[in-house]
Amino acid sequence: TQLLEQSPQFLSIQEGENLTVYCNSSSVFSSLQWYRQEPGEGPVLLVTVVTGGEVKKLKRLTFQFGDARKDSSLHITAAQPGDTGLYLCAGPFGNEKLTFGTGTRLTIIP
């Protein structure tokens, strides 16, 4: 069982639609980060959320940290083909620098 479960695992939608990706855990995290990874590259940090209930916006992307700091969501408005990629949530846990979620593979169809 993964510490951070992401849903859905795969998502394929048309350009212009909205979508939400979820990251859930039964454990409390001091912070959570969201990364996007494209084929042949390493993950790139999108945002870090620290405070329970925090909402951060990055252009068309909105990130929210749950009040209890056990979950987070990523909402994309008017998805574009450039949003295609593997979205990963991650947080520091135990001795690990970062524990990563199971990932959501997003495909935006033009």
Partner 1 sequence: KAGVTQTPRYLIKTRGQQVTLSCSPISGHRSVSWYQQTPGQGLQFLFEYFSETQRNKGNFPGRFSGRQFSNSRSEMNVSTLELGDSALYLCASSLRLAGSTDTQYFGPGTRLTVL
Q: Are 104 and 21 in contact (CB under 8 A)?
A: yes
Say which DSSP state 81 is in. Answer: G
Q: Is residue 90 close enough to count as binding partner 1 by CB under 8 A?
A: yes
Q: How far is the CB of 31 from partner 1 (least distance, A)?
A: 4
Q: Is residue 85 close enough to count as binding partner 1 by CB under 8 A?
A: no
Question: Can you tell me which of 50, 55, 58, 68 binds partner 1, judged by CB under 8 A?
Answer: 50
Stretch that binds partner 1, among 10-18, 57-65, 72-80, 83-91 (CB under 8 A): 83-91
Q: Is residue 40 close enough to count as binding partner 1 by CB under 8 A?
A: yes
Q: Judging by beta carbons within 10 Å of its beta carbon (0-12, 13-18, 19+), is residue 93 exposed, middle or buried? A: middle
- Which residues is 10 bridged to in the sheet? 105
Q: Is the torsion defined by CA of 42, 16, 108, 13 positive or negative?
A: positive
Number of residues that bind partner 1 (CB under 8 A): 24
Binding site for partner 1 (CB under 8 A): 2, 30-31, 40-45, 48, 50, 88, 90-92, 95-103
